[in-house]
Amino acid sequence: MAKITYIEHGGKEHVVDVANGLTVMEGARDNGIPGIEADCGGACACSTCHVYVSPDWVESLPAKDPMEEDMLDFAHEPDLERSRLTCQLKVSDALDGLVVQMPEKQI
């Protein structure tokens, strides 16, 4: 289980425990966190679960695969270094303490 902090665009923080094996997107969905829409349900077919990963975590996460890179092109104001799709981030103990911030809007 990992404790993940989701920060809404306006600054409100939600700290939740997310079970290993779920994705960061599923953790947000299951805990009613606003700002992650996940229209495609986690199929990496949209960009509505886009977040900015805390700079401290960028190097600790697995590399983006080509499909995630392509979908991030459709995200609202993507950041080349910090933008990730939460449906592509599988939760494990290694993600304990992860901090993500939602963009102003999802497209």
Q: What pLDDT sits at residue 24?
A: 98
C-alpha–C-alpha distance, residues 34 and 30, integer Å: 11
C-alpha–C-alpha distance, residues 84 and 31, integer Å: 19
The answer to whether residue 107 is domain-embedded is: no
pLDDT tens digit sequence for 26-69:
999 999 999 999 999 999 999 999 999 999 999 999 999 999 99
Mean pLDDT of the chain: 97
Q: Which helix (H) or strand (E) holds 101?
A: strand 99-101
pLDDT at 107 over 90: no
Predicted TM-score (pTM) of the model is 0.95
pLDDT at 72 over 90: yes
The set of residues, in sequence order, having a beta carbon less than 8 Å from that of 33 and lying 6+ positions away, is: 6, 8, 14, 16, 27
The answer to whether residue 36 is domain-embedded is: yes
The answer to whether residue 44 is domain-embedded is: yes
The answer to whether residue 88 is domain-embedded is: yes
Alpha carbon 77 to its chain centroid, in Å, reads: 15
Mean local confidence (pLDDT), 62-88: 96
What residue type is 39 in one-letter code?
D
Domain count of the fold of the chain: 1
Give the CATH number, domain containing residue 90. 3.10.20.30
Token pair of 39 as six digits: 């229209």
C-alpha–C-alpha distance, residues 48 and 86, integer Å: 9
Q: What share of the chain is helix, strand, coil (3-state, %, to 5)?
A: 25, 20, 55
Q: What pLDDT sits at residue 53?
A: 98
Q: What pLDDT sits at residue 38?
A: 93
The answer to whether residue 106 is domain-embedded is: no
Range of the domain at 75: 2-101
